[in-house]
Amino acid sequence: MARLQDHDGNLLTDGVPLGIEQIPGGPLLVELPGDWQFEAAPGSDVSTLPGPRKGRRLSRAEAWHPRLALVVGLCLFAAFAIWRWGLSVLVAVAMWVTPESVVKVIDAGNMAVIDRTFADDSRTSAARQKEVQAIFARLREQAPPAPWGEYRLLFRDMPAIGPNAFAMPGGTVVVTDQLLERFDDPDVIAGVLGHELAHVSERHVLAQLYRAGTSYLLVTLIAGDPGPLLQDMLREGNLLLSLSYSRHHEAEADRLGVATATAAGYDGVALARFFEALEEDFGADGPSWLSTHPAHGDRIERIRDMAGSQ
Amino acid sequence: MQPSQTHQVQFTGNAKTFFGIWIVNILLSIVTLGVYSAWAKVRTKRYFAQNTVIDGRHFDYHATGGQIFAARVIMVLALIPFMIPFVNLVAIIVLLFAFPWLLNRSIAFNARMTSFSRVRFGFEGSYGRSFLVFMLFPLLSVFTLYLAYPFVARAVHRYTIGGHRYGTARFAFDSGVGPFYKAFLLAVGWAVLALVVGFVAIGGMQLFEEMAYASATGVNPDPAIMVRFGLLYVVFFAAILPAAFIYQAFLRNAVYENTTLEGGVRFRSTVTPVQLIWIAISSAVVAVLTLGLMLPWARVRLARYLAQNTQVLATGSLDEFVGTEAAKVTALGDAYTDIEGIDLGVAI
């Protein structure tokens, strides 16, 4: 039982307190029947007062005490564990529940946007297209099946992109006229297409999308509001980490692509010639930690190493 | 007319107590893969509200973690249409129309969940006004090359402050556009001056020419040029960041000066841009050097600085004012505060 009286000793309310609550560093609040709240002076002893203690365990955990050092250690470990394993698990779960129809819509939507903005119908002759499709068919037999939908190859004229090829998660691979004009050699084409097939079979596009989204969300949720300046620093750092992830994917696609092309009866190592030509045409690229792709020189070297080990 | 009394706002929190709350919040947020962060947000807001004290009375924050979590789940679900091509076009149009309403709900939620001396704040918005001040006016100011932006800022404050109430007492904001132009021009002036001086000092034009030459000929640029390019980045930050603080400081002072609360309550803010910048930069440096462990200290430090530079001026005693409002609210009953039903609690 508790009684609340005013200065003159008049009874304001009495009864068992509905709740006693104190956030560390905050006021001690006692909720009383009749919508009364009593605020105890700092340091008051209310241990004999009956009534439920709201959030007592949490407040005790938060109190200043050497064991907070343990909490700090646990935080560091948990953050490392999430970064090292947790993200991969979350991404894997997200990919597992992603239905095929959604991925197909992504492919179709992206293609529609690309066609409207910077791609024109291909100028490559039908005969040449047939040749390249034949290479693609041979590679497809050697590559692991596409996780969502089927592999298909499209031709587009994309002057803004230059000699290049890219893949979408549903299995759509696009090759530019500029690439076919620049490279005649079927081995180089096979190397490039093998690389793109590897992006599809290893689900790189969605993995990057999900990983970037998840880590952004986690950083925002866990760091809360670190204040001006630091918020930006955290997010930029997160972006740099995701770039390293993308470089890792490119290297993996190089390795698998070369293997696929070789299995299909081509000289997969010709992929190195593609990067050499790019370097010749456009020069070396910027610092590697700022790039989504590994430096051309590194890639050429690594692909040639693969030839040595085969 | 009673003489006006000045009440200093005090912040009674300290880095020691907040550190425990902060680190436990982080641990629980990580362990629950972010789910606990909704409860963590409430805990943090409560800590800062309860430790903000005027005349011995403190603020409080009453939202529950469950409310914030539910709002976040709704927001994540609402994001799905934006990821589907073509459907996202419809979703964007729907969002544009819902935006003024969402903002009103969000402001109202935050107001209603905040109390001072157990009397809740409130907010009544209108869709039309919200649409004008948050969407149409900012859009129109683009066509004036943002030169009319101070008018927009004034309209936003007139709307948001004027819609708030404490208990039943209404807030009001009225001001000439002068102070808004002062804040705006000083900030823009600083940014432009710093950019021009920095650009010239580094030799920006020559730098761009050399970069263009290097990329045209395929020659690797000189490392010294890359360093100067990095300096350009530094100049950019030295221009933009202080500008933001200059704007915020002058704006805060002007807004507090011209805000009134029914019943003869006025406000005063005396923050300076130099101190805000100093606090932001030194806090960031300390936080980085301590791997983030001093972040709670930084937040407490900023809260304390802001409190120290805020005063409330009341004609008569604050006790009497709060007592009157508490009585009025009790007379109206709780229906007055809960009548609008479910809150989205969008944290914008």
Same-domain check for residues A128 and A209: yes
Residue B348 in tokens: 């914008």
Q: What H or E segment, with its residue span, contains residue B89? A: helix B87-112
Contact B50 A26 (CB under 8 A): yes
What DSSP state is assigned to residue A203? T
Q: In degrees, to the nearest 5, what angle opens at C-alpha B203 toward C-alphas B200 and B208?
A: 120
Residue B295 in tokens: 């972040």
Query: Domain boundary at A81, A97, A113, which?
Result: A97
- A79 three-state secondary structure: helix
Name the residue in chain A with its Cα closest to that of B32: A222
Same-domain check for residues A139 and A111: yes
Residue ranges per structural domain of chain B: 178-254
Same-domain check for residues A58 and A89: no
Contact A224 B37 (CB under 8 A): yes
Give me the tens of pLDDT residue by residue for chain A, a chain 310 residues long.
788 888 888 888 888 888 888 898 888 898 888 888 888 877 778 888 888 888 889 999 999 999 999 999 999 898 888 888 888 888 889 888 888 888 888 888 888 888 888 888 999 999 999 999 999 999 999 999 888 888 999 999 988 878 889 999 889 999 999 999 988 899 999 999 999 999 999 999 888 888 888 887 777 777 666 665 666 777 777 777 777 888 889 999 999 999 999 999 999 888 888 888 877 777 655 555 556 677 777 888 888 887 665 4
Same-domain check for residues A83 and A115: no
Same-domain check for residues A155 and A265: yes
Range of the domain at A199: 99-309
Same-domain check for residues A129 and A191: yes
Same-domain check for residues A270 and A138: yes
| CA separation for the pair B7, A284 (Å, rounded) | 65
Name which of A7, A21, A22, A23 to mutate to probe chain B: the one with the most chain B Cβ atoms within 10 A of its Cβ: A23
Same-domain check for residues A83 and A51: no
Same-domain check for residues A142 and A256: yes
pTM, two decimals, is: 0.79
Query: Which one of the listed residues A31, A62, A150, A196 is annotated catalytic?
Result: A196
pLDDT in tens, A188-241: 999 999 999 999 999 998 888 888 888 877 777 776 666 656 667 777 777 777
Name the residue in chain B with its Cα closest to that of A229: B284
Cβ atoms of A210 and A187 closer than 8 Å: no
Query: What ipTM was predicted for this assembly?
Result: 0.76
Same-domain check for residues A162 and A92: no
Cβ atoms of B19 and B282 closer than 8 Å: no
Same-domain check for residues A268 and A124: yes
Name which of A206, A230, A234, A296 to mutate to probe chain B: the one with the most chain B Cβ atoms within 10 A of its Cβ: A230
Q: Nearest C-alpha of chain B: how many angstroms from A20?
A: 15
Contact A229 B44 (CB under 8 A): no
Same-domain check for residues A184 and A224: yes
Q: Where does chain A have alpha helices with state H? A: 56-62, 68-81, 87-97, 100-117, 126-142, 177-182, 186-201, 204-223, 230-263, 271-282, 296-309
Contact B26 A86 (CB under 8 A): no
Query: Which residues of B are less than 8 Å from A233 in CB distance?
Result: 284, 288
pLDDT in tens, A155-175: 999 888 788 899 998 899 999
Parts of chain B with a pLDDT under 50: 333-348
* Total domains, chain A: 3
A196 is catalytic: yes
